[in-house]
């Protein structure tokens, strides 16, 4: 669709778009003010469910062919457990077919179509066991899929345990895996499924997929079940995951429970892709209007929502931003969204920020597990942005020497960024001395950032997969100390309560830029460096407070940094790694000592 066609189609909504954002903003502000004056309601105490048995619930709408194909695998795996199919006013004879072909299945016949959420809720209310396993009608399950799910309810805080998902067609790209992740970016929610073969045990995830997950029935109903605000489909499970984390509960991924999904087997057949995308965009807005209660986060969302709708008209559709029609549809549901917002506020025990943090593996360990306060051999994750072997630059000399000593005193888990594939082999000796090793070759950062306040050297090393690997290693290896090398990697320090963040400043970054500015030269040519200096200064003074220790080579570095951040002086340690073990080198009269600086 061309620009003029988009403009003609959306012009009336563009004209009223400030009101479509402004009125919800004012309504949510008034609602939040009233909630703060009224105060929170007391929350019910948590209890652990009985996992001796489960009820399997399958919502169905005109999916007779899918039930015929996949229900037998469910019944085989269920054993003597209860199986309920909620028929959502199907017109293909699904209910009669089930009664005749599968008489052991309990069928609930809805007189009207309640949508995925409403049909699922009906199944939860009818279930007789504490654990309800919710499956899509196009889901084939492994015979032993149920036991690992039930085993995942390890304590009273577990809300849901999600299956590992594969596609029925092995040649299909695995767009969904069950290992879900969510984050906040550019004023909105972002979600994805990760493929990570290193995750081989119970693991946190942001939400359990609505068609492949076991839920604590009591907790599910306490949260209100799937919200009708998000009818007819999509994001109901994401919304429920957010509410569970804000309630202080856990959502877990169980890779040992394997199911196979014929992706969008029913919805994709019944609705056009354009309609599905329009519902998604509307529901992403409503998710925020219901669940986001932090003022700055909500203000950013409203701005980006309005700007995104305009950009969609100017430059075309994008999955990451709404369009004017999505704003209009969400606006029409504003009264319902406000009621849901009040309910979400009353059920929350932690903030939005904390709810986004806790599903991340490192935060999960830090918040839910008790780590030893003063371990004799602290498990250490050593993070380097540059190759260490061979030690052909100054930082590599210091790091290789440090690792040679550190492994004598602590189990070390090593993550290193490499420039070339051949460097992986050069680091092979670490496999014998370090507990685990992981390498990223030619990792892509985010070097482009017009007008960004983040220094180029930091954006160059910003990578979501690296952050995930750090967090995954912290949880799987129960890391006590995160040892970060170089200032540009300080972005990976987190606001942990038990895990220790240590940064080794090989050189104070903004100080090194300042040296270049002091040299003679054309003042105009120094403008980019001066801008980078200011960005680096801002970055370091914002990042360093997250550190528990700030290490550096010289007292000169320490004194310089303390001038800008005197409150951090107690955290600073200088005089470290300031020497070289000369016995590692043999003097050569001519030529370079191979694989060294000499």
Q: Quick one: pLDDT at residue 271?
A: 78
Residues 19 and 532: their CA atoms lie apart, in Å, by: 39
Compute the distance between CA of residue 559 and CA of residue 572 in angstroms, rounded to an integer. Answer: 10
pLDDT score at 450: 66
H or E, element range at 485: strand 481-485
- What gap in Å lies between CA 331 and CA 13, rounded to an integer? 11
The vertex-232 CA angle with 336 and 352, nearest 5°, equals: 55
The span from the CA of 223 to the CA of 243, in Å, is 7
- pLDDT, one tens digit per residue, over 439-472 is 999 888 876 766 788 998 899 999 999 999 999 9
Look up residue 488 and give its two tokens.
Answer: 């540009």
Least Cα distance to 359 among 441, 522, 468, 232 occurs for 468
CA dist., res. 472 & res. 388, Å (int): 22
The predicted structure's pLDDT at residue 587: 72
Domain boundaries, the chain: 3-34+272-357, 54-265, 372-584
Which residues, listed in sequence order, are joined to residue 188 by a DSSP beta bridge?
Answer: 185
- % of the chain residues with pLDDT over 70: 97
pLDDT of residue 515: 81
Strand ranges across the sheet with 412-418? 436-441, 412-418, 380-384, 481-485, 500-505, 549-552, 572-573
DSSP letter at 567 equals G
Question: Are the beta carbons of 479 and 379 closer than 8 angstroms?
Answer: yes
Judge contact between 544 and 536, C-beta under 8 A.
no
| pTM more than 0.85 | yes
CA 548 to chain CA centroid, nearest Å? 24
Distance in angstroms (rounded) separating the CA atoms of residues 254 and 26: 42
Structural contact between residues 436 and 414, judged by C-beta atoms closer than 8 angstroms: yes
Quick: pLDDT tens for 586-596.
777 777 677 77
Beta carbons of 181 and 362 less than 8 angstroms apart: no
Give the model's pLDDT for residue 269.
Answer: 67
Burial readout 145-178 (b: 16 or more C-beta within 10 A, e: otherwise): bbebbbebbeeebbbbbbbbbbbeeeeeebebbb
What's the burial of 35, exposed, middle or buried (CB within 10 Å: 0-12/13-18/19+)? middle
Neighbours of 403 (CB within 10 A): 22
Q: What is the 3-state secondary structure (H, E, C) of 115-155?
A: HHHHHHHHHHHHCCCCEEEEECCCEEECCCCHHHHHHCCCC
DSSP state of 266: T
Task: Quote the tokens at residue 64.
Answer: 């007779």
Pairing of strands 481-485, 572-573: unpaired
For helices 361-368 and 464-476, what crossing angle results, to 10°? Answer: 30
Give the tokens for residue 299: 């203000």
Residue 446 exposed, middle or buried by CB count within 10 Å (0-12, 13-18, 19+): middle
Question: Are 27 and 337 within 8 A, CB to CB?
Answer: no
DSSP run (H or E) holding 397: helix 394-406
Tell which residue, 118, 110, 68, 119, has the closest CA to residue 91: 110
pLDDT at residue 516, as a whole number: 79
Q: Provide CB contacts within 8 A for 175, sequence distance 6+.
A: 193, 263
Pick the CATH number of 54-265 from 3.40.50.2000, 3.40.50.2300, 3.90.550.10, 3.40.630.40: 3.90.550.10
CATH number of 372-584: 3.40.50.2000
Distance CA 380, CA 38 (A): 46
Tokens of 230: 């998000």
> How confident is the prediction along the chain (598 residues), in pLDDT tens digits per residue?
788 888 888 899 999 999 999 999 999 999 999 999 999 889 999 999 999 999 999 999 999 999 999 999 999 999 999 999 999 999 999 999 999 999 999 999 999 999 889 999 999 999 999 999 999 999 999 999 999 999 999 999 999 999 999 987 777 888 899 999 999 999 999 999 999 999 999 999 999 999 999 999 999 999 999 999 999 888 999 999 999 999 999 999 999 999 998 755 556 667 788 888 889 999 999 999 999 999 999 999 999 999 999 999 999 988 889 999 999 999 999 999 999 999 999 999 999 999 999 999 999 999 999 999 899 999 999 999 999 999 988 899 999 999 999 999 999 999 999 999 999 999 999 999 999 999 999 888 876 766 788 998 899 999 999 999 999 999 999 999 999 999 999 999 999 999 999 999 988 888 888 887 878 878 887 788 888 889 999 999 999 999 999 999 889 889 999 999 999 999 999 988 877 887 877 777 777 677 776 6
């Amino acid at each position: 669709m061309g620009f003029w066609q988009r403009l003609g189609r959306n012009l009336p909504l563009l004209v009223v778009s400030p009101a479509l954002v402004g009125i919800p903003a004012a309504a949510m502000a008034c609602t939040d003010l009233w909630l703060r004056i009224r105060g929170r309601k007391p929350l019910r105490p948590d209890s652990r469910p009985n996992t001796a048995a489960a009820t399997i619930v399958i919502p169905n709408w005109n999916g007779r062919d899918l039930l015929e194909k996949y229900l037998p695998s469910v019944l085989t795996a269920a054993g003597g457990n209860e199986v309920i199919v909620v028929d959502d006013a199907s017109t293909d004879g699904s209910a009669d077919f089930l009664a005749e072909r599968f008489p052991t299945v309990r069928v609930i016949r809805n007189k009207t179509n309640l949508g995925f959420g409403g049909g699922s809720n009906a199944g939860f209310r009818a279930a007789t066991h504490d654990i309800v396993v919710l499956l899509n009608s196009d889901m084939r399950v492994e015979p032993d899929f149920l036991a690992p799910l039930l085993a995942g309810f390890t304590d009273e805080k577990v809300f849901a345990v999600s299956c590992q998902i594969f596609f029925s067609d092995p040649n299909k790209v695995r767009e969904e895996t069950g290992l879900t992740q969510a984050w906040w970016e550019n004023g909105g929610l972002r979600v994805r499924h990760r493929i990570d073969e290193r995750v081989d045990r119970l693991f946190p995830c942001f939400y359990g997929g609505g068609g492949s997950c076991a839920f604590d029935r009591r907790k599910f109903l306490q949260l209100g079940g799937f919200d009708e605000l998000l009818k007819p489909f999509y994001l109901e499970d994401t919304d429920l995951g957010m509410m569970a984390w804000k309630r202080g509960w856990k959502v877990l991924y169980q890779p040992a429970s394997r199911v196979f999904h014929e992706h969008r087997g029913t919805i994709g057949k019944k609705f056009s892709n354009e309609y599905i995308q329009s519902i998604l965009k509307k529901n992403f807005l409503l998710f925020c209007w219901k669940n986001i209660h932090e003022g700055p986060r909500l203000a950013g969302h409203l701005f980006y929502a309005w700007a995104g709708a305009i950009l969609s008209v100017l430059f075309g559709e994008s999955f990451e931003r709404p369009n004017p029609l999505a704003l209009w549809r969400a606006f029409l549901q504003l009264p319902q969204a406000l009621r849901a917002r009040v309910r979400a506020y009353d059920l929350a025990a932690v903030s939005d920020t904390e709810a986004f943090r806790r599903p991340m593996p490192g935060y999960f360990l830090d918040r839910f597990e008790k780590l030893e306060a003063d371990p004799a051999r602290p498990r250490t994750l050593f993070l380097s942005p540059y190759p260490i072997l061979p030690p052909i630059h100054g930082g590599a000399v210091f790091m290789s020497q440090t690792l040679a000593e550190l492994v004598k005193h602590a189990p070390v888990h090593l993550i290193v960024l490499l420039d070339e594939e051949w460097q992986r082999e050069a680091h092979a000796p670490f496999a014998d001395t370090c507990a685990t090793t992981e390498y990223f070759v030619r990792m892509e950062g985010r070097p482009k950032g017009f007008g960004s306040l983040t220094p180029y050297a930091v954006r160059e090393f910003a990578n979501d997969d690296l952050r995930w690997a750090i967090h995954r290693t912290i949880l799987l290896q129960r890391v006590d100390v995160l040892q970060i090398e170089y200032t540009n990697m300080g972005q990976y320090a987190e606001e942990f309560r038990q895990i220790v963040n240590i940064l080794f400043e090989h050189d104070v970054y903004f100080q090194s830029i300042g040296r270049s500015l002091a040299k003679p030269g054309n003042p105009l040519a120094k403008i980019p460096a001066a801008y980078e200096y200011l960005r680096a200064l801002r970055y370091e003074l914002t990042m360093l407070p997250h550190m528990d220790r700030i290490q550096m080579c010289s007292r000169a570095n320490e004194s310089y940094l303390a001038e800008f951040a005197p409150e951090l002086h107690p955290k600073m340690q200088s005089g470290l790694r300031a020497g070289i073990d000369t016995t590692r080198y043999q003097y050569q009269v001519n030529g370079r000592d191979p694989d060294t600086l000499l």
